[in-house]
Amino acid sequence: MTVTLPPFEEVAVFHGHVCPGLAFGYRASEYAIECLKTARSEDEEMVAIVENDACMIDAIQYITGCTAGKGNLIFRDHGKPVYTFILRNREKAVRIAQRSAFSLDDLFPETVDIRTRMSAGTATAADGARMQELRAAMIEKILSAPLDEIYECKEIKPELPERARIFRSVPCAVCGEPVSEQRARVQDGNIVCIPCFDEYTRGW
Ligand SMILES: [Zn+2]
Ligand SMILES: [Zn+2]
């Protein structure tokens, strides 16, 4: 099966700007599709587990069809550029992890100096212009590097998360707004939503 990816520019329209993160997400999606040989997930066929919530995720949602709204994009807040893609029906999964050797700071050391000047408030207009050029070069590098130079892609044993379920909503006793049963809390015998719930804590 040949799968055509949407052009990067189209993904940038969805995301709102062009950035290195989006390029990273584009390549991770490309790798997943190549390894799993699957078209965009129209329903829940493919599940993505992402370990950060940065720009990359928008490319993954747009290209793979694994989206937060459909419940086939699962976010684990690990702050890591690691993406696991699972095919439900064929029980196949890959873990795609960015290699530490593919570091933009190492590839473009000039950006480190400019960023230092920017945070110290000593950057010049020339620095700003140069940074724009360097960002464009970074994006170009990410989009053109061989996939296995950027990411390590390993086939892993698929561990399927439960399908997205639909829960009943109940009105919150404090604000009156509907809250999904599975996220509701009980306070003084009443059902309340999380924002209305007074967290009980002993200070640790
Ligand atoms: Zn971005
Ligand atoms: Zn409430």
pLDDT at 108 > cutoff 90: yes
- As given in the structure block, the two tokens for residue 189 are 């015998």
Beta bridge partners of 192: 185
Span from the CA of 199 to the centroid of ligand 2 (angstroms): 13
pLDDT tens, position by position, 86-97: 998 878 999 999
Looking at the CA of 15, name the nearest ligand. Answer: 1
Considering the domain architecture, whether residues 58 and 149 belong to the same structural domain is answered as yes
pLDDT, tens only, 56-76: 999 999 999 999 999 899 999
Average pLDDT, the chain: 91
Same structural domain for residues 150 and 65? yes
Among 65, 23, 57, residue whose Cα is nearest residue 40 = 65
User: Which two three-digit tokens encode residue 83?
Assistant: 């993406």
- Asked, for residue 115, whether it belongs to a domain, the answer is no
Q: What's the pTM?
A: 0.84
- The H or E element spanning position 82 is strand 82-87
Domain that holds residue 185: 166-204
Q: Which ligand is nearest to the CA of 56?
A: 1
CA of 118 to the centre of ligand 1 (A): 19
Above pLDDT 70, what percent of the chain?
Answer: 93
pLDDT at 164 over 80: no
**34 and 89 assigned to the same domain:** yes
Ligand in nearest proximity to the CA of 18? 1
